[in-house]
Amino acid sequence: MAVSLAGRTAVVTGAGRGLGRAEALELAALGAHVVVNDYGQPGRDGSGPASGTPAETVVAEIRAAGGQATAHTGDVADFAQARDLIRLAVGIGGGTLDILVNNAGILRDRMVFSMTEDEWDAVVRVHLKGHFNTTRFAAAHWRERSKAEGRAVYGRIVNTSSEAFLAGSAGQPNYAAAKGGIVGLTTSTAGALRKYGVTVNAICPRARTRMTEDVFTDVPEEGAPDALDPGHVAPLVGYLASPAAAGVNGQVFVVHGGMVAVMQRPLVAARFDARGVAELEAALTPYFAGRPLGETFAAPEVLGLKAAQAPLPAEESAGDGA
């Protein structure tokens, strides 16, 4: 059965470029009216036409392809502007919002012993607070609708975490912490909104974007397939936003290059009955001595996940992210 989002209204944050752009294009291609959010003014970084913001450029691209889209240039990390974004989408949807994709983010990479307070605050503000702000207003909308209608409603949230959280990226303490917080926000919100008909999931994408250009430097030759094209991530977002994913809730996925991995929740590795320092020493010291050197709660093996086959060239993938 073909996946369709016809008649649905969706918000994608940070959608002026990269992953967000690819996700917005995907949702629009599936039939949704997409509110394309990206913070900024015309030409503020010298990219794109001077007459329009990145959000407006993506809106024009969607409309040129026959889709429906509206631009929003507010800052989702600002509580009031996030509220206005959700209100805009609800108005466009004739009183309903169906899909929220939280993607907006920035990087300020540095080792923890060198990081400034501003570098910490900026990343946590945009990623974690930005996710909370939009989620808070979308959740309130769905709860009110459900109570008014006396039944479950349609709601989908797709959050953006990262392998940096799963693997414990040493040079990104702010980013890894924010992305770990997003997973906590995801699972908590999934439980809170389940009874209203809303699902909440998180993806950990690997993609070549402006934000990661200094991380993924192995650019393929022109015309060669690129496993890190953002368009390979967008179909999972389209699926999670669709009616077909009604039974998928509170999950975390790693996705890139045509590969999707479902992450397992943490399991109890060992249990000890011990009281006092001496008993703890007798139990824990030999236990950790028998574990591999350097093994921690982090799961760096996720970084070794690869697609089973070469991905489609960028122009054949569902979303053509930059």
Active-site residue, 175 included: yes
Q: What is the pLDDT of residue 49?
A: 39
Q: Which of 39, 129, 161, 162 is catalytic?
A: 162
Mean per-residue pLDDT pooled into runs of 10, the chain (322 residues): 91 96 98 96 45 91 98 98 98 97 96 98 98 98 98 98 94 97 98 98 84 53 67 96 98 94 95 95 95 91 80 38 28
Q: Which of 39, 161, 175, 242 is catalytic?
A: 175
Q: What is the pLDDT of residue 316?
A: 36
115 burial via Cβ count (<10 Å: 0-12, 13-18, 19+): middle
Q: Give the residue among 159, 209, 223 at the shortest CA–CA distance from 21.
A: 209
Q: What is the pLDDT of residue 221?
A: 57
Q: What is the pLDDT of residue 39?
A: 95
Question: Which helix (DSSP H) or strand (DSSP E) does residue 155 occupy?
Answer: strand 155-160
Q: Which of 39, 129, 161, 179 is catalytic?
A: 179
Q: What is the pLDDT of residue 269?
A: 94
Active-site residue, 4 included: no
Active-site residue, 179 included: yes
Gyration radius (Cα) of the chain, Å: 21
Q: What is the pLDDT of residue 50?
A: 38
| Residue 293, number of CB atoms within 10 A of its CB | 6
Q: What is the pLDDT of residue 306?
A: 85
| Residue type present at position 222 | E
